[in-house]
Structure 1
């Protein structure tokens, strides 16, 4: 089953808005076993749109449209699809009643062009719009399927989930096996390094399939298979996950699409452990990532952003001679990272204390290069580990990679303690 997503709107071509609808629909269709082969963006021009529909109908089985269902003259999706299919348009009574109620509720007269939002294609199935006015449409024609959805995501997503998806399951997926997937999350390794470890699995894949995805400071692999039942699918996926995990035991931190901070919060909550942090160059980014996780309050007790040397001295008792002087290691040093991690742990009385200090840029600091960062992890009753990082990228990238790296090393330490 080949699908194509056609996004309609000149504003998309001009870059005025992001085509987030295509990303959402691609993920949703993949989850039910439909492969999206093409994504097309067309402006508000009936001739170009009609041509795009004709081309898509020749190469794809399912065409999903977003946008162009509104009341104005440049909302042309229904007109173009109807013309290509040789069908007429008519007013759907239920959709028209919805439009009438909307304007009556506002106490304003309805302009005639709003009737266009209630138009549907002859022989198709109207898709009610629960959050807006423009009705959608689903049509089957000579083994091809056409689904028309509104452009605003707040209208498109509910209509897809409640109206279009059930129609697709009933009319399109009559002989298709559903697709089952697992998302495997990795930290402390880049996309190229991960591929090297799994090259034979990627090159020789058939079923299950292996698809890597890279985001800043994290890598994800989606493993997928089609099967008659979930149990049958999970047997295959679990076997492949075990093989991947055996090759990358120090990097695979989750078998679901969650950030590493979520895994850390879960591990520490389960074991009753607590955490605090002292941040310099990251300015609270590490603490923000941890506290963005629901339930993190039981784990993260607090932290200090000690951006200046004065704050490092006053709030975290870093010795002045460590920070300043001709022979001082300086704020950006392993010695300072160690003291910061230990002091914040003792002040907050937590099981772990984390620290980050470095040069995020754009210029040198203490005559030290951009990207030089030190991170520390202090453990109650244990030693303090300090790591030197030499990171590349702009200021935002260095700050993000610093925060993610200290989380990675904390996860590794928690995992090692768990297996003792």
Structure 2
């Protein structure tokens, strides 16, 4: 079954974050429905009418969110009724429920709230247990279905889970299962990553393969559809096993596993502690590591040593190294990693120094030059990197790369 989600509301076109559509898409895919289209339209009758008509021409189920409120701008039901040549009527049971909602809360009710009880002829009315706007289900003669849900996220999610899913199961039966798994990679660009699994991308069917650049990482999403969750999961596992050897060096985690989570898990498993000396990242790596619950078991401490004075006094970098090689140098990064490891008596020490820009560059040291050193039981490893982008881009890429270098160091032990 093909589903289209229509998000209504001019505020969405002005940049307000839409959480309804992602939620609906995720839940519908879990139920085995194919969400092939998503549209957003403002509170304009003509444009909304066009969007609904287009959706009905290409989809079996059309689900809208928003536009069921009491104001003149809430027009979703009216526009749909016009598209389908249906009259509107006052649904008395909804009137009573809306009045009861306000009375129980000792709130005054505006006459306009009764607009929420106006329904298209022949509608199945869906009670709203969290608000005043009932949902609407319209079954068309050609077998297609339109479902109107309220816009407030809590109202929408509860109504969808409690009422719409049971309706879909009764109406259309079990649709099978759509399962996705994300292989999260770091350290290889999207074109090069695609080259490594090009043969699988060309041959894809079910499962499908999609690459997505996200926050410096490249995600490889595998999606399969099966008669059951187990069947879809097996399809995913079979394809993953084929792809894995080609990109295993760059896969650090799966689905919601972040680099800080993975490195934290490795530190905990090895019973290691870590300390950091950060310059150009300004404490960003430390912040990410401590975002993980339980990080106090392995995170000892850190120093943001932006100035040379702090590098010398707090981290133990010698003035001679700074004078001879400069703050952004291999030698300084090595000294920072080893110095912070000693200072906090940690198993692992990391030193990060670089030029985040836009100023500070020299002919030999451009903006984006970064040195990352990791000191530990296996000695000290040094890595030189060159990053492009804004100051914030360079800081973020440096933090991600430091976590990845830490991950690889830990795996080598």
Matched, 1:68 2:64: no
Equivalent residues in 2 for 1:140-289 (5 A)? 140-141=139-140, 142-172=142-172, 174=173, 176-289=175-288
**Higher deviation after alignment, 157-166 or 395-404:** 157-166
Q: Please report how far the alpha carbon of residue 270 of structure 1 lies from its aligned counterpart in structure 2 after TM superposition.
A: 2.4
Contact 1:323/1:331 (<8 A) preserved: yes
CA distance in 1, matches of 2:167, 2:185: 36
Equivalent residues in 2 for 1:333-344 (5 A)? 333-344=329-340
Contact 2:267/2:298 (<8 A) preserved: yes
Question: Which residue does 2:55 correspond to in 1?
Answer: 56
CA distance in 2, matches of 1:118, 1:95: 5
Question: Which residue does 2:397 correspond to in 1?
Answer: 401
How high is the TM-score relative to the length of structure 2? 0.92
Contact 1:277/1:355 (<8 A) preserved: yes
CA distance in 2, matches of 1:91, 1:289: 54
Matched, 1:374 2:371: yes
Contact 1:265/1:299 (<8 A) preserved: yes
CA distance in 2, matches of 1:33, 1:388: 47
Question: Helix, strand or coil for the counterpart of 1:261?
Answer: helix
How many aligned positions are there? 411
CA distance in 2, matches of 1:45, 1:157: 25
How high is the TM-score relative to the length of structure 1? 0.91
Contact 1:31/1:181 (<8 A) preserved: no
Q: Please report how far the alpha carbon of residue 103 of structure 1 lies from its aligned counterpart in structure 2 after TM superposition.
A: 3.2
Q: Once the two structures are superposed, what CA deviation does each residue of 1:317-371 show, in whole Å capped at 9, x if it has no partner? A: 11112223xxx21111111111111122222222211221111111124663110
Contact 1:182/1:255 (<8 A) preserved: yes
Question: Which residue does 1:348 correspond to in 2?
Answer: 344
Q: Please report how far the alpha carbon of residue 289 of structure 1 lies from its aligned counterpart in structure 2 after TM superposition.
A: 1.3
Question: Which residue does 1:411 correspond to in 2?
Answer: 407
Q: Please report how far the alpha carbon of residue 167 of structure 1 lies from its aligned counterpart in structure 2 after TM superposition.
A: 2.8
Unaligned runs of 5+ in 1: none
Q: CA RMSD in A?
A: 2.1
* Alignment CA distance shift 1:276-1:168 (3 Å): farther
Q: Once the two structures are superposed, what CA deviation does each residue of 1:131-174 show, in whole Å capped at 9, x if it has no partner? A: 432222223223112121222334333333333333333324x2
